[in-house]
Structures are given as structure tokens and as C-alpha cells.
Amino acid sequence: MSLRDRIIAANDSAEEIVEIPEWACSVKVRSMSGAARAVLVQDASDNNGKMNFGRVLPEIIIGCVFDPTTGEQVFEAKDTEVLMSKSGAVLDRIVAIAMRLSGFAEGAVDAAGKDS
């Protein structure tokens, strides 16, 4: 197998099971693909290049939260409004893990939140 084929075949996504006591469940948080991360950064940036975290928080939750038993995505775009009604502390915890797993620099969540 060529190096290219080995790289393409590699499962390089990161994931973590996260206990959410406020929701009485655990969820699997997965890293974003390179394409999803690029779209997120593009969609989140305002005209000055600063990240508007409020615009993308639900997108991160929707794209990165999976059922740890079935592997299915838990939320859909239609869940945005109800997600935003949930505890900000819970959402921040999930987003911090998703961003860490997706390779965003430490402190990116805090810096992004200041711009929203």
C-alpha cells in the first residue's frame, strides 16, 4: 500500500465521550473534518476577520455531537433554536471539547466568545 493510500485510509478523527449530568446522558463529541473546519472559520468570521462565536456555536454542536451507542448525529439544523435555549455552560463545555479535538488553538474558544 502506498503512503498516499495509507494516509487516505487512516482514521484520523478524534472523539471523546462526554458526560453531561445536566442532560442525564453522555454524548460522543467528534472532531470536525478539514472541510467542516474551513467552512466554520469562513462562516464565523466577520468583515474584520474576527470570529463571531454566537453565529457558529449551534453549528459546532450540531456537527460534532453524536450518540455514543449508535454513532448517529444527535442534532440537525432544525434544532438550532432549541439548542440555543439550553444551558450556556453546557454548550460551552461541549464546544470547548469539539474545538480542542478539531485542532483549534487553546484559548480560541475564550477569544472567540469575546467577539460575539
Sequence-distant (6+) residues with CB within 8 A of 69 are none
Give the architecture (CATH level 2) of 9-114: 2-Layer Sandwich (3.30)
Would you state the pLDDT for residue 83?
94
DSSP letter, residue 105:
P
> What separation in angstroms does the CA of 86 have from each of 2, 3, 46, 54?
47, 45, 25, 14
10-residue averages of pLDDT along the chain (116 residues): 95 96 98 86 74 81 96 94 95 95 69 47
CA distance 40 to 38: 5
Please name the residue ranges forming H helices in 1-107.
3-9, 34-44, 53-64, 80-84, 88-101
Q: What are the residue boundaries of the structural domains of the chain, listed by start?
A: 9-114
pTM of structure: 0.79
